[in-house]
Amino acid sequence: MKQLRVRVLFGLFAVAGVLAWAGARLWDTFGTLPRVPVAAPIVLGVIAAVLAATALSLRARLKAQRERRPGAKGVDPMLAARAVVFGQASALVAALVAGMYGGTFVFLLLDGLDAGPRRDQAIYSGLSVVTGVAVVVAALFLERVCRLPEDEDDGGPKAPAV
Protein backbone atom coordinates (compact mmCIF):
# COMPACT_ATOMS: atom_id res chain seq x y z
CA MET A 1 0.00 0.00 0.00
CA LYS A 2 1.42 3.37 -0.96
CA GLN A 3 1.77 6.17 1.54
CA LEU A 4 -0.47 9.20 1.07
CA ARG A 5 1.45 12.29 -0.02
CA VAL A 6 0.77 15.71 1.43
CA ARG A 7 1.49 17.29 -1.98
CA VAL A 8 -1.40 15.37 -3.53
CA LEU A 9 -3.75 16.45 -0.74
CA PHE A 10 -2.66 20.07 -1.04
CA GLY A 11 -3.09 19.92 -4.83
CA LEU A 12 -6.62 18.57 -4.46
CA PHE A 13 -7.37 21.29 -1.91
CA ALA A 14 -6.03 24.04 -4.17
CA VAL A 15 -7.76 22.85 -7.36
CA ALA A 16 -11.09 22.38 -5.57
CA GLY A 17 -10.71 25.80 -3.95
CA VAL A 18 -10.08 27.60 -7.21
CA LEU A 19 -12.95 25.80 -8.95
CA ALA A 20 -15.31 26.52 -6.04
CA TRP A 21 -14.33 30.18 -5.98
CA ALA A 22 -14.92 30.50 -9.74
CA GLY A 23 -18.17 28.56 -9.47
CA ALA A 24 -19.36 30.76 -6.60
CA ARG A 25 -18.62 33.91 -8.62
CA LEU A 26 -20.53 32.51 -11.59
CA TRP A 27 -23.42 31.27 -9.48
CA ASP A 28 -23.70 34.61 -7.67
CA THR A 29 -24.16 36.46 -10.97
CA PHE A 30 -27.23 34.34 -11.73
CA GLY A 31 -28.79 34.47 -8.28
CA THR A 32 -28.01 33.45 -4.76
CA LEU A 33 -25.35 30.98 -3.72
CA PRO A 34 -26.37 27.57 -2.45
CA ARG A 35 -26.25 27.49 1.34
CA VAL A 36 -23.38 25.87 3.20
CA PRO A 37 -24.96 23.21 5.42
CA VAL A 38 -24.61 23.71 9.16
CA ALA A 39 -23.88 19.98 9.45
CA ALA A 40 -20.78 20.14 7.21
CA PRO A 41 -18.27 21.07 9.94
CA ILE A 42 -20.02 18.75 12.40
CA VAL A 43 -19.75 15.72 10.12
CA LEU A 44 -16.12 16.47 9.30
CA GLY A 45 -15.38 16.89 13.01
CA VAL A 46 -16.96 13.52 13.80
CA ILE A 47 -14.88 11.84 11.08
CA ALA A 48 -11.72 13.49 12.45
CA ALA A 49 -12.59 12.29 15.96
CA VAL A 50 -13.20 8.72 14.75
CA LEU A 51 -9.88 8.68 12.88
CA ALA A 52 -7.99 10.10 15.86
CA ALA A 53 -9.63 7.65 18.29
CA THR A 54 -8.80 4.75 15.99
CA ALA A 55 -5.19 5.89 15.70
CA LEU A 56 -4.81 6.31 19.46
CA SER A 57 -6.39 2.92 20.13
CA LEU A 58 -4.17 1.14 17.60
CA ARG A 59 -1.10 2.95 18.89
CA ALA A 60 -1.80 1.84 22.46
CA ARG A 61 -2.43 -1.76 21.38
CA LEU A 62 0.73 -1.86 19.26
CA LYS A 63 2.78 -0.39 22.11
CA ALA A 64 1.43 -2.98 24.56
CA GLN A 65 2.17 -5.72 22.04
CA ARG A 66 5.74 -4.48 21.49
CA GLU A 67 6.36 -4.31 25.22
CA ARG A 68 4.95 -7.85 25.57
CA ARG A 69 2.57 -6.92 28.35
CA PRO A 70 0.60 -9.84 29.74
CA GLY A 71 -2.90 -9.96 28.28
CA ALA A 72 -2.02 -7.47 25.52
CA LYS A 73 -4.43 -7.75 22.65
CA GLY A 74 -2.63 -7.87 19.30
CA VAL A 75 -3.60 -5.96 16.19
CA ASP A 76 -4.92 -7.93 13.25
CA PRO A 77 -3.02 -6.87 10.10
CA MET A 78 -6.28 -6.70 8.12
CA LEU A 79 -7.76 -4.37 10.73
CA ALA A 80 -4.74 -2.09 10.39
CA ALA A 81 -4.98 -2.20 6.60
CA ARG A 82 -8.68 -1.35 6.68
CA ALA A 83 -8.00 1.52 9.06
CA VAL A 84 -5.30 2.90 6.76
CA VAL A 85 -7.57 2.63 3.71
CA PHE A 86 -10.37 4.38 5.60
CA GLY A 87 -7.94 7.10 6.65
CA GLN A 88 -6.57 7.60 3.15
CA ALA A 89 -10.03 7.75 1.60
CA SER A 90 -11.19 10.17 4.28
CA ALA A 91 -8.15 12.39 3.73
CA LEU A 92 -8.71 12.55 -0.03
CA VAL A 93 -12.40 13.39 0.30
CA ALA A 94 -11.73 15.87 3.12
CA ALA A 95 -9.10 17.65 1.00
CA LEU A 96 -11.65 18.05 -1.81
CA VAL A 97 -14.45 19.16 0.52
CA ALA A 98 -12.21 21.56 2.45
CA GLY A 99 -11.00 23.05 -0.83
CA MET A 100 -14.57 23.49 -2.01
CA TYR A 101 -15.59 25.24 1.20
CA GLY A 102 -12.32 27.18 1.19
CA GLY A 103 -13.11 28.61 -2.24
CA THR A 104 -16.59 29.53 -1.07
CA PHE A 105 -15.11 31.11 2.07
CA VAL A 106 -12.69 33.25 0.04
CA PHE A 107 -15.49 34.34 -2.30
CA LEU A 108 -17.69 35.34 0.64
CA LEU A 109 -14.84 37.25 2.29
CA LEU A 110 -13.98 39.14 -0.89
CA ASP A 111 -17.64 39.86 -1.64
CA GLY A 112 -18.27 41.40 1.77
CA LEU A 113 -19.90 40.13 4.92
CA ASP A 114 -22.32 42.97 5.63
CA ALA A 115 -25.42 40.75 5.33
CA GLY A 116 -26.18 38.35 8.19
CA PRO A 117 -26.76 35.23 6.07
CA ARG A 118 -23.50 35.75 4.16
CA ARG A 119 -21.62 36.09 7.44
CA ASP A 120 -23.16 32.84 8.70
CA GLN A 121 -22.25 31.07 5.47
CA ALA A 122 -18.67 32.34 5.76
CA ILE A 123 -18.47 31.02 9.33
CA TYR A 124 -19.83 27.60 8.33
CA SER A 125 -17.51 27.33 5.35
CA GLY A 126 -14.51 28.48 7.42
CA LEU A 127 -15.29 25.91 10.11
CA SER A 128 -15.63 23.26 7.40
CA VAL A 129 -12.15 24.08 6.14
CA VAL A 130 -10.71 23.80 9.66
CA THR A 131 -12.43 20.48 10.36
CA GLY A 132 -11.46 19.19 6.90
CA VAL A 133 -7.83 19.91 7.73
CA ALA A 134 -8.37 18.09 11.05
CA VAL A 135 -9.57 15.03 9.12
CA VAL A 136 -6.43 15.11 6.96
CA VAL A 137 -4.16 15.45 10.01
CA ALA A 138 -5.93 12.61 11.84
CA ALA A 139 -5.72 10.40 8.73
CA LEU A 140 -2.01 11.06 8.33
CA PHE A 141 -1.50 10.28 12.03
CA LEU A 142 -3.42 7.02 11.63
CA GLU A 143 -1.32 6.10 8.62
CA ARG A 144 1.86 6.81 10.59
CA VAL A 145 0.68 4.67 13.52
CA CYS A 146 0.00 1.72 11.22
CA ARG A 147 3.41 1.78 9.54
CA LEU A 148 5.52 -1.34 9.73
CA PRO A 149 8.81 -0.98 11.59
CA GLU A 150 11.70 -0.30 9.27
CA ASP A 151 13.87 -3.27 8.42
CA GLU A 152 17.44 -2.71 9.58
CA ASP A 153 18.78 -4.71 6.63
CA ASP A 154 16.68 -2.97 3.99
CA GLY A 155 17.24 0.70 4.83
CA GLY A 156 14.34 1.61 2.51
CA PRO A 157 11.36 3.79 3.33
CA LYS A 158 8.70 2.48 5.65
CA ALA A 159 5.50 1.16 4.12
CA PRO A 160 2.03 1.24 5.73
CA ALA A 161 0.97 -1.98 7.38
CA VAL A 162 -0.93 -4.34 5.12
CA distance 120 to 129: 14
Average pLDDT over residues 146-156: 59
Given this model, what pLDDT does residue 153 score? 47
Given this model, what pLDDT does residue 141 score? 95
Closest CA to 95 of 62, 56, 47, 58: 47
Write the DSSP string, 106-131: HHHHHH---SHHHHHHHHHHHHHHHH
Given this model, what pLDDT does residue 97 score? 95
pLDDT digits (tens, 9 = 90+) for 51-99: 999 999 999 888 887 777 777 777 788 888 899 999 999 999 999 999 9
For 73, 146, 149, 156, the CA distances from 66, given in Å and listed in that order, are 11, 13, 11, 22
Relative orientation angle of helices 116-145 and 39-66, to the nearest 10 degrees: 20
pLDDT digits (tens, 9 = 90+) for 86-141: 999 999 999 999 999 999 999 988 877 666 778 888 899 999 999 999 999 999 99
Domain ranges of the chain: 6-145
120: burial class by Cβ within 10 Å (0-12, 13-18, 19+)?
middle
pTM for the predicted model, two decimal places: 0.84
Q: Which residues pair with 160 in a beta bridge?
A: 147
pLDDT digits (tens, 9 = 90+) for 3-53: 889 999 999 999 999 999 999 888 888 877 788 899 999 999 999 999 999
